[in-house]
Chain A
Amino acid sequence: MVFSRAVKVRRPTVVWALLASGLVLEGWVLQAQKPEPIPPPVLVASGTARLLLGAEERELTYAATAAGPLFGLDAIARELGGRLTETASGRGYELTFSASKFLLATESPQVVSGKKILTLSQRPVTLDGTLLVPLDMLEVSFGQLAGYVWRFEETTRTLHGERPNITEVEAAIDLVHLQGTSTLVVKFPAGPPRYVVEREGQRTELRLLGGAFSRQTELPRVEDPLVSALRLGLDRLTIELAPGVDGELYELKQQPFRLVFDFHQVGPATSSPATAELPLPRPSNGFTVVLDPGHGGGETGALGKNGAVEKELTLLLSLEIQRQLEAALPVKVILTRSADEQVGLFERTAIANENKADLLVSVHLNSSLSGRPFGAETYFLSLKASDLQAAAAAELENQDADDAEESDDLEMILWDLAQTRHLAQSQTLATLIQGELNATLGLKDRGVKQAPFKVLVGAQMPAVLVELGFLSNAEEEAQLKDASHRARLAAALVKAIVEYRAPQVTPGVASPGSTPEAQATPPTEPSAPPGASRPER
């Protein structure tokens, strides 16, 4: 597995060195204790106790000797994201926690951790195959490494584990599988946490340093071909991967800070169900699509009543469209913004023009002053709807001939005409997108529409603006906050773009408007497309 940034990867050589040194130390510890035989411990009590970690309650094996209580280590380790295994020799135990290892044995009160040898208040014991350790073992391991403070309440036989100095870290976790890749996004709205990511076998662990996941953090449902399980501990997220799955990690540093894990199958290729759903052509190179995530920075766009923010969701949607599109076509995808930043509308169009994009798709979410409207709609610019042009031309006529701004306004009008050369293609793309949204998602068809969106005005290529749902509608807001719904929306858009692209690359078949002659056609108002509609009445 390759983690690109801020990731500690356990290299094989390091692992082997640790294991080798561990075995040597284990032998040394056991050898060292031979001259001092210790009498077997006498248990004065045994049974179960309660383990209370914050609000979480578990049961664990308990016993007591004259020297004090002992607790089942395996249950505590599992709860806190650690692992307890028997050593290869079968004579001792190895506790792995927070990148540290502890070697211990029932024959000795001594514990080896790295180069340190620690002596416990009493030696561990086994009871019905369970290893039990004294409280100070918990303090030297989970206490020193993760800040847990342990307290045993004898009357209620309750072991309390608390982290008084640990701050809660708010996080949102999403998992989605598309095009053979499973993407796990962990969003930290309050900013980047201190963390490490470790990989052992098919287990990947994201561990927070000096922090714990807030109690509100929820895990998504896991029905994924590549990710077999997700577990959330106090300070860690454990990701269990299916055999043969590898992955990468990216940091998206702009607010909200996100860690993005991409997992994919390695070895013999097996087509995932999501891949099979979308048979995509593989046309020639040189196709550039500019995706424009609406709003950003101080400009939030629409706000849902339950906390959804348009600028955040349009970015997530655009990133998802980019990911799927790049998997579907040999395409260059450029985003007008890849972070939470304010980009002017003119600048967004300029990015598309400067990159000589073949398509500009502006991604938005809608809202209405009443909560009822819902569904998706796709817009392209029109001469008629862009009353601005007619208005500006009329304004020019009404102005005095010596108006210093006349030539300037004329330039603007000519600039605006740039998009009118591509209206027919914009209309085709808008119709395809709206058709896919309707067919794939069964969304309410609000139709293909025309309006004077600023971002479309100066575009020198087919350009559309999609409104993928209403955040003012509570039900649709909830759907849009769901990563799997966003992935389906993205898939619909990708399918439409692929369909749009397909006839243009078929040998001997030129798409309407793709030839230089067609490009030079004087601007005309396109005929009403089949799916075109005006606002409902």
Chain B
Amino acid sequence: MTRPPPFRSIRCLAVLVLLLMSGCRRGQTPPPADPSRQEPGTFAQPVNLYFPGENGLLMAERREIRTTGEAEDQVAAVVRLVLTGPESDSLAAPFATEVTLAAVQLSPSGVVYIDLKGKDGAGPPSGGSTEERQRWMSLVNSVALNVPEARRVVLLWNGVQPETLGGHFDASRPFAPDLAMVARQP
């Protein structure tokens, strides 16, 4: 009853090719966006980003992205802002500063593929399950709760969809946003 390995390999390869193609189409990942910088054809959009807080939960932080309005562009802007970390000192950055966004691809069915890249090919960060969930759900919630077209998120690391992203949770399927992970604001 298990998925035959060749199918999984083909699927991973297809995703990789798709991402590479999408990367070519959109060009290389731009440097972190400066929301205050007004580029032609873009506009400011307020978003709630979800960063790790106390008790293993996520806390919303109000931020602003500049976007063309296209869903993929919105996703990329949100992800890049999550990767730069929170402004509040009471919240934690989910990723090390060396982690960058390699590519974003949104399928018509609302599954968004986010490919992150570690420095010098480093693997995904390790940690306990709470840390793992905080880290990845920070990204999933920030994307899926801000971009209506992105209903679920598939996370890739260095172009590959891993079995898990730290040894705990199943990363072979799309992640849905989890509001139970979000702490109520005081």
Contact = CB atoms under 8 A, between A and B. Distances in A.
Contacts of A472: 128, 131
A365 interface: yes
26 contacts: A295-B126, A301-B126, A344-B163, A345-B164, A365-B128, A366-B131, A368-B52, A368-B130, A369-B92, A370-B52, A370-B54, A373-B54, A373-B55, A391-B174, A395-B152, A404-B7, A405-B7, A409-B3, A414-B1, A415-B2, A452-B170, A454-B168, A454-B169, A470-B128, A535-B57, A537-B55
B128 A345 contact: no
B127 interface: yes
A399 interface: yes
Contact of A364 (B57, B128, B133): B128
B173 interface: yes
A228 to B, nearest CB: 39
Contacts of B174: 388, 391-392, 395
Given A367-B131, A453-B170, 19 more contacts: A301-B128, A302-B131, A303-B126, A345-B167, A364-B168, A365-B128, A369-B94, A370-B52, A373-B55, A387-B178, A395-B111, A404-B7, A411-B1, A451-B133, A471-B128, A472-B128, A534-B180, A535-B181, A536-B55
Interface in B122-162: 126-131, 133-135, 152
Nearest to A470: B128
B129 A366 contact: yes
B56 A453 contact: no
A344 B172 CA distance: 13
A370 B129 CA distance: 13
A26 B63 CA distance: 91
B176 interface: yes
B1 A415 contact: yes
A391 B169 CA distance: 15
B183 interface: yes
Does more than half of chain A's interface fall in helix, strand or loop, or is it mixed? mixed
Contacts of B180: 534-535
Interface in A236-286: none
A398 interface: yes
B170 A388 contact: yes
A368 B56 contact: yes
A10 B184 CA distance: 69
B88 interface: no
Nearest to B163: A345
A399 B174 CA distance: 14
A369 B176 contact: no
Contacts of A409: 3
Interface centre among A294, A301, A367, A369 (most CB of B within 10 A): A369
B130 A367 contact: yes
A368, A388, A404, A470: residue with the most chain B Cβ atoms closer than 10 Å: A368
Contact of B131 (A368, A379, A391, A414): A368
A28 interface: no
Given A368-B128, A537-B184, A373 B173 contact: no
A408 B4 contact: yes
A408 B175 CA distance: 19
Contacts of A295: 126, 167
Contact of B54 (A303, A372, A392): A372
Nearest to A446: B56
B53 interface: yes
B167 A301 contact: yes
A326 to B, nearest CB: 27
A405 B54 contact: no
Contacts of B56: 368, 373, 535-536
Contacts of A398: 109-110
Contacts of B2: 346, 411-412, 415
Given A369-B52, A537-B184, A294 B57 contact: no
A102 B1 CA distance: 71
A535 B55 contact: yes
Nearest to B178: A387
A336 to B, nearest CB: 13
B168 A453 contact: yes
**10 smallest A-B Cβ distances: which pairs?**
A367-B128, A302-B128, A398-B109, A366-B128, A369-B52, A369-B92, A388-B173, A454-B170, A387-B176, A415-B1
Contact of B169 (A412, A452, A471, A535): A452
Contacts of A67: none
Interface in B23-75: 52-57
Most buried by A among B53, B130, B133, B134: B130
B14 to A, nearest CB: 10
Contacts of A364: 128-129, 168
Interface in B62-120: 92, 94, 109-111
A471 B129 CA distance: 11
A390 B177 CA distance: 12
A299 B165 CA distance: 11
Nearest to A304: B128
Contacts of A405: 7, 11
Nearest to A298: B123
Contacts of B184: 537
A94 interface: no
Given A364-B129, A408-B4, A454-B163, A391 B152 contact: yes
Nearest to B53: A370
Nearest to B2: A415
A391 B176 contact: yes
A340 interface: no
A133 B106 CA distance: 86
A535 B133 CA distance: 12
Interface string A353-371: 0000000000011111110
Contacts of B130: 366-368, 373, 467, 470
A408 B7 CA distance: 8
A432 interface: no
A369 B169 contact: no
A300 interface: yes
Interface string A373-393: 100000100000001101110
